[in-house]
Chains A and B, each alone.
Chain A
Amino acid sequence: MTVTLYIFTYAAAVTFISACAVRIVWFARAPLHLRWELYPVPHEPPARAEHGGSYFEEVDWWTRPSRFHLFGELRFMIPEILFMKGLWEFNRRLWFRSFPFHFGLYLLTGAAALMGLGGALSISDPAFAAGTLGQIIHGLCRVTGISGMALAVLGAMGLLVRRLTDHTLRIYTTPGDIFNLLFFLVTLGLSAAGYWSRSPTTPGMIALTKGLLTFDSSLEIPGLLASGLFLWALLIAYVPTTHMSHFIAKYFTYHAVRWDDAPTRRGSSLEARLAGYLTYRPTWAAAHVGADGDRTWAEVAATNPAQESKK
């Protein structure tokens, strides 16, 4: 069973990375769209970003050097990513459920990273686990893992109760939405139960990670804990195939849509890309569009249906 669990875990990691990569490439390769920014745009200079202003507030804006304030973006992004600031502002009731869930997952991700570090260091130094650093990592792992687990369970339960009881959500809720939350809850619950019910001889999480990294089939993993870990593997593989991969989408919705205020300058690479799109041959069927599949987008835009219909 241990080997099967290892194989499952590696397969899940590969699936997760591949599915994320596919989604990233899919969005990244979509054509550059028409500008559709939404203010405030935080990379504007602070004096303008404060009131949501843009470079359009300056006379002859195109003659002035463009300024990109990375600090402004970071000042927006960090509270948004870590603390879901937008949700706090616009939907406080949901924040009390969603924030613990997401922050719990962050902590669990942190715990997994610490386990990976601890496991890797244990391979190079067999005495690592007993040493000071090993004890520190072990302690941090426990704190982040347990608190992450508790927060995520709390949040997932809150979200599930809301889905089931809030009548405004009912018509928008699919069986998949309920399943997703239950999947998280069962996975979290089973792994927590497996962790708490393990015997003193059960290998610790860092030892388990070391076993995973070295493919050590001699480790004995209790059934309940193993079930929880199996579910984690499945969950990790499942998430990027669903809308829950919004951790990827959010990069694009912000950086490539809401904050994409890059003006087109003559002779720029941006202009060259756009010129390529104008050679596409659309096939829209309405007569006034005149897109017969032969005309390019630029040719369609150069026609005048009002004049043509007069002929």
Chain B
Amino acid sequence: MRGKIKLSDMSRSDRTPLTHVRNEDLMQLPAPLHDPAHDRGWTPLSEQTRARYECGLDGTCAVNVPQPKTKQEEEALVARFLSGLEKLFTRENNWTFLQPLLLTMEHCARCQTCSEACHIFEASGNNELYRPTYRSEIMRRLYFKHVKGGGLVSAWQHGDIGLNWSLIARLIELAYRCNLCRRCAQTCPIGADNGLVAHELRKLFSQEMGIAAKEIHDNGSMLQLKAGSSTGMNSVAVKDNVEFIDGEMTEKTGIEVKTPWDVSGADVLLIHNAGEILAWPENPGAFAVILNAAGISWTLSSEAAGYDSINYGLWYDDAQFARVAIKHAEAAKKLGVRKIVLGECGHAHKSLSVIADRVLLGDLNIPRESSMTLLRDIVVSGRIKLDPGRNDFPVTLHDPCNVVRLMGVVEPQREIIRKICPKFREMEPHGVDNYCCGGGSGFAIMSGNNFPDWRFHVSGRKKLAQILNAFRDCMEPSVPKYLCAPCSNCKGQFRDMLSYYGLWENHKILYGGLAELIVNAMTDVKPGFIEWEWH
């Protein structure tokens, strides 16, 4: 089937997947993972999943769309899709992205320059289904046919595509085979944006059809709006957990650590991704150590969503996005802080600093900045004493797409690392030309069915190759190595992917945040803040 996939295959009414990704087709990894025969196998989808859900794309299933039971149900879904497609191109419904979407629909020259920039396409061994323009071309043909009126001349000029439920079901899944890293858009000679197309498709499915990946909607933005955090923690639970972290940090560092809560008029409202508090407590703990030591006036908020910077709406739903962004701003407004500082979470950086900038108006427009810059100023100013010798191990830096390519925060984190990590080495390419970790746009938290196999074998593969290359001179397990990933979602992907390939057990590659490296180098702190243990 590979190499022969056509656009019209998307409308095939059988539910046989259009492709099966095979290890031997994938981009080769560097040593020690270079032999495809020794690569991990794929878990097949269960009979039950295939019988219940739409799995006709590629042998995995991210969204779990139930199969319609009747022809009428299918027709109703098609009608709903068409209604949503039309709304995407109206200013009342989609002022948020109408202009860039129109430009992309109207002006792609189909030159395929973007394809080589896409880590998913490359890692898959150039599987046609994952070419960035494959998804966009279907969307474009639907746009010309169903939004602009279609007709014979239009079909001749723009191409034709048959619309049925099978195509829509596959398109739903295909919208979740893109990390929205927009590396492809960076290379487009015209400025068309295939990442935006995936984003807008997800929006259509969510806002019109009520279809989205469960992890980012039901267990993500909805849970955050209900409980205050996508982790499910309410304000009491989060305070308890942070108090526990304070205790741990005090013991570990030898200095009293106390996290301030709800301090009115504080200079800084720090908002972490609440996942850090549960999964990587040393990161919020390290922030507390650094900010206290530097004498920063700071606070956390116990307001709903004020203690969890995540905003999954960024990836699929403008309404959910705006709701959460407003809650973040309201928490800051209530405390009267001077600014919001975002902890180590890439999508939270972009959500609140960049995208929400045109949603938060009037007194909700409270300045937002990256923790990278605040930490850089603390480190460079000499307000805390640092001994780079404590970080005398190989370190490489992962650039979260949302922080670098999509927000332009590139150097502050490097200034810190260059100052405190004598064995720092860059991945290639890096900065705004980086590759996504493979967990972007929600994938890091999407673990249903056999989707993890896909995100480790395909979407994370290019990054995995970069990591192995960065440490190729010191792969022996006697040398502990640190992959610095200042982003919760990226860390989630690395935790799972490094474990999947046994890179901690066999080669001692550990991942972690930036703040931990700083505390590990602080001379006022007991040595050994970074514990070389898998977490």
Contact = CB atoms under 8 A, between A and B. Distances in A.
Interface of A: 26-27, 30-41, 44, 48, 51-62, 84, 86-87, 89-91, 94, 98, 168-169, 171-177, 179, 242-243, 245-246, 249-250, 252-254, 256-258, 261, 263-266, 271, 274-275, 277-278, 280-291, 297, 300-307, 310
Interface stretch (B53-61, B219-227, B274-282): B219-227
Given A266-B362, A277-B95, A90 B412 contact: no
Q: Considering the complex of A and B, which 6 residue pairs feature the smallest CB-CB distances, nearest first?
A: A253-B191, A54-B408, A52-B432, A176-B157, A306-B226, A30-B99
Given A30-B98, A52-B404, A284 B208 contact: yes
B432 A263 contact: no
A281 B182 CA distance: 30
A285 B377 contact: no
A169 to B, nearest CB: 6
B13 to A, nearest CB: 20
A41 B408 contact: yes
A286 B431 contact: no
Interface of B: 5-7, 80, 83-84, 87, 91-93, 95-100, 102-103, 106-113, 115-117, 128, 133, 137, 156-159, 182, 185-193, 196, 206-210, 217, 222-223, 225-226, 317-320, 322-323, 326, 339, 353-355, 357-362, 365, 367, 369-370, 372-374, 376-377, 404-412, 431-432
B116 A286 contact: no
A158 B112 CA distance: 16
Contacts of A84: 189
A156 B357 CA distance: 44
A253 B103 contact: yes
Contacts of A250: 107, 190-191
B470 to A, nearest CB: 19
A51 B410 contact: yes
Give the one of B110, B115, B217, B317 with max A CB within 10 A.
Answer: B110
A306 B223 contact: yes
A26 to B, nearest CB: 8
A34 B99 contact: no
Contacts of B99: 27, 30-33, 252, 256-257
Contact of A285 (B83, B192, B318): B83
Given A39-B405, A89-B187, A280-B93, 6 more contacts: A33-B99, A39-B410, A174-B156, A243-B109, A245-B107, A277-B95
A301 B322 contact: yes
Contacts of A86: 187-189
A223 B362 CA distance: 68
30 contacts: A32-B99, A33-B95, A33-B358, A34-B359, A38-B406, A39-B405, A39-B406, A41-B408, A51-B431, A52-B410, A54-B408, A59-B377, A62-B367, A91-B187, A171-B5, A171-B128, A176-B156, A176-B157, A243-B106, A258-B191, A264-B360, A266-B362, A283-B93, A284-B87, A286-B207, A288-B217, A297-B95, A301-B319, A301-B323, A306-B225
Given A94-B113, A282-B92, A57 B157 contact: no
Given A57-B412, A266-B365, A249 B107 contact: yes
Contacts of B354: 35, 37
